[in-house]
Amino acid sequence: MKIKRVRNRITIYFSIIIFSLTVAITSSISSIFSKEIIKQYNNVATEKITVISKTLNENLDFIRHDSYMIENDKTVYDFMSKVNKNKYIDSTTNTEFLSSLSDYCKRSNYITSVIPLTTDKKIMDPLYSQYPYSDLIYGNKEFDNFIESNYSNKFSSPNTFPFNYVDPDYDKKTTITYFSRYLDKENYFLIGYLMLNIKKKSLFTNIDDYCTGVFDSTFIVDKNGSLIYKIGNMDYDKTMLEKVNDDTLKVNDTKYIEFNSVIEAYPEWRVIGLISLDSLTKNLNAIKVLIYCIGIFSIIIVIIISHITSKKITDPIHAITKAMNRFENGEWPDKLEVNTEDELKYLVNNFNKMIYNMKDLINQIYKEEEENKKLEVESVKTQLDLLQSQINPHFIHNTLNTINYLAIKNNQGEIRELIQSFNSLLRQSISTSKKLITLKEEVTCTKNYLNIQKYRYGDIVRLVCNIPEELSNCLIPKLILQPLIENSLYHGIVPKGSSGTIRIDILAKVEFITIRVIDDGVGFSKEKSSHRGSNGISLDNIRERLRLYFGNEYNLNVYSKSGIGTCIEFNIPYIY
């Protein structure tokens, strides 16, 4: 029998597939799950052991760092050196030495006390040279073994310092001592020893959290198997570490899986974690039962889920089909709504977006046609304005040439020279063909300007140009120097009431050219630094032009002092 509706076909096919997969997966998991879960548990336990080892590495490194800081403390070093050389030590030096050691104990998260000793094991701290501390230090066999060894530093087994107990148990051994040789910094010979007492609980802080829920018991032991620290209620014995095989060991008729790792920062110690096989097997059986129950429950609800799923899949597709039919008939379909958060939502949203874009595209075409018509009209107007703007400058130049001809005819040399200078300056000023001109051309424009002013003020100003020949063809924005010369003339030299000098210095730097306009006029203050010339180009205008041409790093700087003169300086890049 052929099933026509897509929804029904999806429900049946999906139910058959899920049913088959559920049966197959449940059977497979029940046979292989035991080994796999043990493997995963091993990975977790190994990772935990690694994290514990890393944490201990960091804690031990912190202690070594604290010891290093004490050894390199100048107060401590000078005191230890004097004691080793039998030099006299006054009470102030002794107090500073003990105060410095006390400060390190206060700042450290681990060290509770620092005990300095001479090379012959004499205690330098008066407090610890008294009973019962002295007996604990002088009677410390591990310290004697450290002195006889070649180690530069070493951690002791847990001890009871500062208390003296007879046959103390594990709980009373709350301190671990860090032994260190104190060496001369120049010749590296022994000048004493340091004993750093550390609270065992602070050294192994945060370790308990990593072990809880993973290991039944955790032990930190030295290379001889002696217990340093433990987590859990299991009593420790060296003999309990004898393995049944490569993977397990037996303690009180109970088998455990052992995980261990050497602490890299101190290879004398290693971490051992034990996991009970019985608790692991019990957990596996509970998980197997749970898997079978999940499989049966999945088969029951799969038909309901498949029917709901098929409906959610087919409903948006059916809605899109109806909308496409309306579009084919020349109607704009309404916006489709979808409540899913999957590919179907993406499909429906993109269909809505396609319809919207088509509407927007048609509207945009109409709008662009109208704008194109407006642009054509504006373009014609612009061309007319441009042609008209070219009439006035051309007329002015022709008129000046006519006046120049009359000056020649009537032998008026001064008027002729004035008109020629003005005509050249005017052409350069209103020309739109070039925005950049050479330094040589700009200086010529500046000279023409001063030549015009000579007929008004006489020989009031002298122009000095210091321009290297190799820079004369460098390009600069036109009308940069002329406004600065005009500014110096009107606001520097003229108010002075006597003749003066304006100097143009062009300096070649590595990455840019430095241009300076210097006058010996009256100078001005910052409030008057935006003077305008008669051409209307202010210093602020020149600043803005430099910024627009070359960027914000090229700025105009003004240096002036009343009664001395003014220097205006700016930089431009090399452009040829």
* Each residue's pLDDT expressed in tens, for the chain with a length of 576 residues: 556 566 666 667 767 777 777 777 776 766 676 677 777 777 888 888 888 888 888 888 989 899 999 988 999 999 999 888 888 888 888 899 999 999 988 888 889 999 999 998 899 888 888 888 888 888 889 898 999 888 889 999 999 888 888 888 888 899 999 999 999 888 889 999 999 999 988 888 778 888 877 888 888 998 888 888 988 888 887 777 666 566 677 777 788 888 888 888 888 898 988 888 777 676 666 776 777 777 777 777 877 777 677 666 677 776 777 777 777 776 777 777 766 666 666 677 777 778 777 777 777 887 877 777 765 655 445 444 433 444 345 445 444 555 554 556 566 666 656 666 666 656 655 555 567 889 988 888 888 888 888 877 888 899 999 999 998 899 998 888 888 998 898 889 989 888 899 999 999 998 899 999 999 999 876 555 445 444 445 788 888 888 888 888 888 999 998 888 999 999 999 988
Side by side, which strands form the sheet with 512-519?
461-466, 500-508, 512-519, 565-573, 556-561
| Cα-only R_g, the chain | 48
Q: What does each C-alpha distance from 83 to 67, 88, 114, 497 come to in angstroms? A: 20, 8, 17, 84
Show the beta-strand stretches assigned E in 359-499.
Answer: 436-438, 461-466, 475-477
Instruction: Report if pTM > 0.85.
Output: no
Q: Domains along the chain?
A: 49-278 (3.30.450.20), 435-573 (3.30.565.10)
> Angle, to 10 degrees, between the axis of helix 539-550 and the axis of helix 481-488?
160
Q: Which residue has the tokens 């003004």?
A: 558
DSSP run (H or E) holding 213: none
Which H helix or E strand runs over 29? helix 6-71
- What whole-number distance in Å separates Cα of residue 206 and Cα of residue 212? 11
* Amino acid letter, residue 507: L
Question: Computed from CA positions of residues 518, 522, 527, 531, in that sequence, does the dihedral angle turn out positive or negative?
Answer: negative
Pairing status of strand 500-508 against strand 461-466: parallel
* Residues 465 and 534 sit within 8 Å (Cβ to Cβ): no
- Tokens 């300076």 sit at which residue? 516
Nearest to 194 by CA among 203, 183, 185: 183
